[in-house]
Amino acid sequence: MLNETHAPDLKCWLASAAPGGDFPIQNLPFGVFRPAGGSQPMRGGIAIGDMILDLAAASALGLFDGLAAEGAALAARPELNDFMAAGRDRWSALRLAVSRLLRVGAPQAEAVRACLRPQAQAEYGLPCRIGDYTDFFTSYDHMINSGRVFRPDAPPLPNFKWMPIGYHGRASSVEVSGARLRRPSGQLPPGEGGRPEFGPSRRMDYEMELGVFVGPGNARGTAIALDAAPEHLFGVCLLNDWSARDIQAWEALPLGPFLAKNFLTTISPWIVTFEALAPFRSALPRTADDPEALPYLRPADGALAGYDIELEVALATRAGGGAAQRLSRSSYRHAYWGPAQLLAHHTRNGCNLRPGDLLGSGTQSGPGPAEQGCLLELSRGGREPVRLSNGERRAFLEDGDTVVMRGWCERPGFARIGFGECRGTLLAAGDA
C-alpha cells in the first residue's frame, strides 16, 4: 500500500508544511470548510500546513485530470459522501495529484497558491452526512478498568475476545470540533430511599476515541469480507464520546447506554485517509492464551490489522486560564480489534452500511498507569481525583472545562502526520 506519497524526503513549497507538524505533504487529510463569518456554502478541502487547499477553486483552474479530476469534483462538494462512495481508485488518484502539485519544484505552484485558504480564518462543518453511527468496545484495558468501577465483582466479558462489541449510537448529535455542551440531565441512580432522582449529571466524562468513516457500502443481505474491507474504509478522525457516568450506571443494563451518551459526540474536522496511515500499520495485540478468532475475523498470516496512532487528551479549566494540560496519553496499537474487523463484523449478518457511516473505536486505553482514556478510569470511578498542576482536582468534568484531544503517527523512516484537534467545552445545565 506504500507509494511515492509516503516518501519521507518529500518537501512542500509551503513553509508551514514543514516536517514535524500535523499536516505535512505526506498527510493530506480531507474536510469541509468555508471562510469564517460569512454565508458562503461549505466546500471540500485538503489540509496542508496551516492552509486549506480549496478543491472547488483548484478544479475550476483545471489543475486535475482523469480520475483525479473526477475525485476532485466530488470532494469539492459540501459533503464528502459522494467522494467516499467513489472508491479507492479516485481517492488515491486525487491524493497523488495533490501531492505532486504541492511538491517543491511543481510548475503549477503559483496557480495552486491562489487556491489556498488559511485554516485560522475558516469554519468547519461535518465532513459528510452521517447516516448511522456505531460505537464499539475495542480496548481490553478499558473493558477491565471500567468493569472494576461499574461491576467490580463481575469477571471480564466472556465475548470480548471473540467479537468486536458495539451498540448503535445517535448520528443526529454528532458535531464537529468546537461544539459547546450543556450538562445533560437524566435519571440518576437511587439513593438510600431506593427512588431515582432526575437532574443534571454530576459525573460528566469524555472518552478518547477514533472515528472510522465508511466509503463504498454494501447491499443489505450481503457481507464485507475481511480481506475486502480496505476497499470500503475511507479514513479516520478523532472522536470524543461524551458520557454521563451516573446516568449510564443506572440505565445501561440490560440494553446498554442511551441518555448517557446520545446528547453529543464530537469529532475532529479532518479525516486522515487509510492510505496516509499505511506506514503506521501494526500487529494486533495477542498472547498465546488468546483464542483464535473465528474465520471471518481472522487476518491473513502476518497481516498488520492494527494502527499505531498516538492519542492524547488534555484539559483546560477556567481557573487554569485556558492553558491545557495533559491528562493521559495512549495509542491505538493497544486496540484488540482493528478497523477491518469492525467493518467485517458489522456487516456479517447482512447489515447494510452506507458512505459516510461512522464507526467509533471505543475508549482507547493502554496498560500503563497514565494511558487511561477517560476520567472514569483515571479517577477510579471518582474515588481518586486527578490532581492538576494548578492545584485543582478532577474526579469528573466541571462546568467550564474544555477537553482537547490530539492524535498523531510517527515511526522511524516516515514523516510524522497528525489529526489536528478535537475540542469541546462543558457548560452548566442552564447555559446557552
Report, as an integer, the average pLDDT of 425-431.
Answer: 90
Q: How far apart are CA 293 and CA 142, in angstroms?
A: 20
6, 142, 232, 345: which one is catalytic?
A: 142
For the cut 90, the answer to whether the pLDDT of residue 323 exceeds it is: no
For the cut 70, the answer to whether the pLDDT of residue 18 exceeds it is: yes
For the cut 90, the answer to whether the pLDDT of residue 322 exceeds it is: no
- 54-90 per-position pLDDT tens digit: 999 999 999 999 999 999 999 999 999 999 999 999 9
More confidently predicted of 360 and 301: 360
Phi, psi angles (nearest 5°) of residue 178: 105, -10
For residues 156 and 147, the answer to whether their CB atoms sit within 8 Å is yes
Which range is least confidently modeled, 151-160, 166-175, 325-334? 151-160
For the cut 90, the answer to whether the pLDDT of residue 191 exceeds it is: no
What is the reported pLDDT for 178? 96
What is the reported pLDDT for 1? 81
The pLDDT > 70 percentage for the chain reads: 100
* Catalytic residue list contains 346: no
- In the annotated binding site for substrate, the residues are 137, 151, 248, 363
* Residue 325, C-alpha cell as written in the block: 494540560
What is the reported pLDDT for 431? 67
What is the reported pLDDT for 192? 82
For the cut 90, the answer to whether the pLDDT of residue 198 exceeds it is: yes
Task: Give the pLDDT band of residue 430 (cuts 50, 70, 90).
Answer: confident
What is the reported pLDDT for 156? 87
For the cut 70, the answer to whether the pLDDT of residue 422 exceeds it is: yes
What is the reported pLDDT for 68? 98
Query: Which top CATH class is 4-124?
Result: mainly beta
The pLDDT > 90 percentage for the chain reads: 90
What is the reported pLDDT for 114? 98
The DSSP H or E segment spanning 121 is none
3-class SS of residue 403: strand
- In the annotated binding site, the residues are 135, 137, 151, 207, 209, 241, 248, 261, 265, 363
For the cut 60, the answer to whether the pLDDT of residue 432 exceeds it is: no
- 324-339 per-position pLDDT tens digit: 999 999 999 999 999 9
What is the reported pLDDT for 130? 98
- 212-242 per-position pLDDT tens digit: 999 999 999 999 999 999 999 999 999 999 9
Phi, psi angles (nearest 5°) of residue 343: -65, -45
For the cut 80, the answer to whether the pLDDT of residue 123 exceeds it is: yes
The answer, yes or no, to whether the previous bond of 254 is cis (omega within 30 of 0) is yes
Greatest C-alpha distance within the chain: 76
Taking residue 177's Cβ as centre, other Cβ atoms within 10 Å add up to 20
Report, as an integer, the average pLDDT of 347-366.
Answer: 98
Q: Dihedral of CA 278/284/285/288: which sign? A: negative
Averaged pLDDT score across all residues of the chain: 96
Domain boundaries, the chain: 4-124, 133-427
* Residue 255, C-alpha cell as written in the block: 440494553
CATH number of 133-427: 3.40.50.720, 3.90.330.10, 3.90.850.10, 3.90.79.10? 3.90.850.10
